[in-house]
Structure 1
């Protein structure tokens, strides 16, 4: 079993920043990422509010730069490494992957982020990957000169709707209310785009298809108006996220929504176990806040390891 100082689960902005701070302090650091590094930002076409990039930066490029910077200081980033268990072992933790690898870590930082919330309507599961998507950046180019809809009303939904206008001939933006939750500047861009058509006060109740591809979505009015059937080729869902906290749920406290409870420095209720980023509750879910939480968690993990050495 390989012994390391800090195991970081998740390679989004929080995990990569934690890896940067930990490895720069000469702690042996391994980051476990079930997919590719970068987290949710790699699916974002453009990040315009991260300091240091006055002209914006693509999410994929920002994720790549964060990864390279952490690796530059010695962090080991294991991609496609799915952690299936974190188990206490005296003062340490055993981290097990789906491939059967085991690591003994002095501290663990959970930075698994959050995953997109599903609609739970008929047709959603059946047509996932065949017209139903949660990533416009990944799949938008497949809908050139076609009609799609975006479900949601926050920043992510509106930004992705705007991105889809680069390819689709029409983008229906479906929102359950009669006003968007997105920030004002993003709304203004949306309303100025002739390709975007608003579907106010409606919710999807069924995604329809021909057995192989999506052909439409049935919308119910929240104000008692008749149902509407939109004929289209793709459905993109951006209705929120829920925390990926299952790994440490048995070890520490979660709130009612499943977010990991932490103090202001990222400590959980279990000594040596920390959390950062979107797996913790925060009103402002931004790249910069996730990175800041990752830095705090790494700093506290390093202090914890040092305190153990001093107490021997």
Structure 2
């Protein structure tokens, strides 16, 4: 039987590593599983990084990712190599299996599988990546001050990034596969872009090759109407034709949007209790190292509270060997009308001389448990007997001493 972890993180990008730091520091038994020998994800492929807070004089992607990993290890995070091909999130213990034949079990799983920019797959693209070829204007625009660059793509993201690049570059040429004036982006962005004097346009064209001796110095364009090839001098090529989330193994396991990105709430929770999603493979507005790291911190903090809830429920409420009834009281200190009713419950339980258990949960902090037991009104008390939900009283006006007494009497008869 495999070792049981409190927190298993799939993916060692900045989101996964930050989750490892926060998880281990909270004394959770934490492990990170990644397909690569070296941690860091896409961030580790960036030669220079100037926009991570605190590193105004620059750093490297591999360098800062190594510090992330070392930080996590210093708190006790374990690291394993393996490519995940199957997961089972149906039970309270989550199970993860790899192509290499290894299996892992954990109470909580944080998914950080990452995403990669879609490529145009032409000669020179891979060789010159980070040497003039980029997939992130926010990351790399500052390296092209007063230089000439090209943008591939004409959707909302591409035009938005092209506009951003005009703040730095001397000129920005957009390579468009469509006829003149026809863009895939929204109309407002198209109109604004057409008026920008720094933006130039090459229509009916695609890039056949990216070339340069160590650094990009030109692209080879192909006119799709005539087939004619021509050289076009440029110092950089920014490619914005989308990204591909690495979530194939999650299909049918957690909710994904139409593009395959994980759907989460602000606590990074997926639709499956105990499973969280962070980083570039999450449906999000911005995909940067700093945002992925923030995702990981949020997910681990939320997971810690989830595990505490789970432990409290399992030990104090759901233990089938516990013969005495237990009242699970959902309330919230911010909801003033819930305070007096819970005090009434306190009083009734105290009079029972330890023959009745009481567990109080702040509904705002224990949202998962409240949802699990269909709590829609604050306060609500739920009576458990031998680990089973047997009765409840909902609403402040209904929770009286007499009502609670009757609830307990009925449980004795049951």
Same fold (TM over 0.5): yes
- 1:18 deviates by 0.4
Deviations 1:228-254 (A, max 9, x none): 43389xx97732312222222211211
- Tell me whether 1:256 sits opposite 2:233 in the alignment: no
SS in 1 for 2:43: helix
CA contact (8 A) 1:47 1:59 kept: yes
Greater shift, 52-61 or 100-109, is seen at 52-61
Query: Residue 89 of structure 2 aligns to a residue in which SS?
Result: strand
Mark the runs of 5 or more structure 2 residues left unpaired by the alignment: 173-198, 212-217, 315-414
- Structural mapping, 1:155-170, within 5 Å: 155=138, 158=141, 162=144
* CA deviation map 1:59-93 (0-9, x unaligned): 121111111101100001224x2111111362111
Partner of 1:182: 161
Distance 2:6 2:273 in 1: 14
Deviations 1:194-251 (A, max 9, x none): xxxx973354264599xxxxx9744347xx898543389xx97732312222222211
Residues 129-181 of structure 1, C-alpha deviation per residue, up to 9 Å, x if partnerless? xx3318623xx4xxxxxxxx748784457567x49x9xxxx98624445x963
Distance 2:67 2:135 in 1: 30
Spell out the pairing of 1:59-74 with structure 2 (5 A cutoff): 59-74=61-76
Q: Is the 8 A contact 2:150 2:238 kept in 1?
A: no
Alignment of 1:64-103 (within 5 A): 64-79=66-81, 81-88=82-89, 90-103=91-104
Question: Is the 8 Å Cα contact of residues 255 and 261 (structure 1) preserved in structure 2?
Answer: yes
SS of the counterpart of 2:106? strand
Return closer, same or farther for 1:37/1:283 CA change in 2, 3 Å cut-off.
same
**Cα distance in structure 2, aligned partners of 1:310 and 1:231:** 66
Matches within 5 A, 1:20-31: 20-31=21-32
Match of 2:412 in 1: none
User: Aligned pair in 2 of structure 1 residues 13, 183: CA closer, same or farther (>3 Å)?
Assistant: farther
How many pairs are equivalent? 275
From 264, 267, 274, the counterpart of 1:265 = 267
Q: Provide the rounded CA distance (Å) in 2 between the counterparts of 1:19 and 1:114.
A: 19
Please give the TM-score of this superposition, normalised by the length of structure 2.
0.57
> Is 1:219 the equivalent of 2:196?
no
User: Is residue 57 of structure 1 aligned with residue 70 of structure 2?
Assistant: no
Long gaps (5+) in structure 1: 141-148, 210-214
- 2:280 and 2:134 map into 1 onto residues whose CA distance is 21
- What residue is the counterpart of 2:306 in the other structure? 304
Counterpart for residue 368 of structure 2: none
Task: Indicate conservation of the 8 Å contact 2:125/2:210, yes or no.
Answer: no
The counterpart of 2:125, out of the listed 110, 132, 155, is 132
Quickly say closer, same or farther: Cα 1:236–1:247, change in 2 above 3 A: farther
Q: CA 1:135–1:228 in structure 2 vs 1: closer, same or farther (change >3 Å)?
A: closer
> Does 1:191 pair with 2:170?
yes
Determine the C-alpha separation between the residues in 2 that align with 1:54 and 1:154: 17
> Is the alpha carbon distance of 1:261 and 1:185 closer, same or farther for their aligned partners in structure 2, counting shifts above 3 Å?
closer
Change in 2 beyond 3 A, CA 1:28/1:100: same
Q: Equivalent residue for 2:338?
A: none
Query: Counterpart of 2:113 in 1: which secondary structure?
Result: coil
1:5-24 correspondence runs (5 A)? 5-24=6-25
* Alignment partner, residue 276 of structure 1: 278
**What's the secondary structure of 1:300's corresponding residue?**
helix
1:97 Cα deviation after fit = 1.5
Instruction: State the partner residue of 2:408.
Output: none
- Greater RCO between the two (CA within 8 Å, min separation 6)? 1
The Cα offsets for residues 15-72 of structure 1, whole Å up to 9 and x where unpaired, read as 0000000011111111111122112222223222222223222212111111110110
SS of equivalent residue, structure 1 residue 57: coil
Give, in angstroms, the shift of residue 106 of structure 1: 0.7
CA 1:153/1:293 → structure 2, altered by over 3 Å: closer, same or farther? closer
